[in-house]
Copies of this chain bind each other. A is one copy, B any other.
Amino acid sequence: MFSAAPWLTAIDLIGTFVFAVSGATLGVRRQLDLFGVLVLSVAAATAGGIIRDVMIGAVPPASLVNWEYLAVATLAGVVTFAFAEIVERVEHPVRLFDAAGLGLFAVAGTAKALDFGLAAPSAVLLGTLSGIGGGIVRDIMVAQVPTVLRSELYASAAIVGGICVTVAVWLQLPRGPAMVVGAVLCFVLRFMAIRYRWGLPVARARADGSDD
């Protein structure tokens, strides 16, 4: 059914699920109805993979051709909608599921780009882009500044995950475990940044609200 390696597909589907939960949770918070919540789940879950596939010329994108992606995203949306009160009890649920999706898509994107013959740095970049793409589309759709701009160690954590996969492939280590390690590393970095509010300095400039 899938041409890609089973590890890649498994990680891709888990990433789809957690990003869909992040989208659905944001939709519930914004008081969208069930339809809106499902659209936001699907958008958050598929945007990263679609961006990746369009960029490497793997069209039509996997999430349009294989029904599994859409089914998983819809299921995640419905479950989140039904159990919204429980999901809410998790602290920072949007950010947590987003961090998991970030790691999973970053390693899956990097691996797929390597499969398509891209050089190591380009593969890491593409992995990063497919990791951050879902969250960007999700946040822009509810008219808020994307997490990738507001948060420390976001794109950077994705880069670390992608490098992990690239190095493993270069050392001819087994790819599956390397993808799991890379995704976990990225997630832990993001989680620590959220938990301990790791931050960087902000440049001094007129903050008068005008942009020109």
Q: What residues make up the interface of A, taking CB atoms closer than 8 Å to B? A: 26-40, 50, 54-57, 59-61, 64-65, 67, 70, 81-82, 84-85, 88, 92-95, 113, 118-119, 121-122, 125-126, 129, 132, 136, 140-146, 148-156, 199-207, 210-212
Assembled-state Cα–Cα distance A33/B145 (Å): 14
The DSSP consensus for interface residues of chain A is: helix
Question: Contact check: which of B54, B70, B207 meets A59 at CB < 8 Å?
Answer: B54
Structural contact, B88 and A206, CB atoms closer than 8 A: yes
**Chain B residue at minimum C-beta to C-beta distance from A24:** B203
Given A33-B199, A65-B122; 15 other pairs, CB 8 A cutoff:
A30-B145, A35-B154, A35-B155, A35-B200, A38-B155, A39-B154, A54-B55, A55-B60, A56-B59, A57-B60, A64-B122, A85-B205, A88-B206, A136-B141, A143-B144
Provide 19 A-B residue pairs closer than 8 Å at the C-beta atoms, listed in order of the A residue: A26-B211, A30-B211, A32-B150, A35-B152, A36-B148, A36-B150, A37-B203, A39-B149, A40-B149, A50-B55, A54-B55, A55-B61, A55-B64, A64-B122, A64-B129, A84-B204, A85-B204, A95-B212, A142-B145
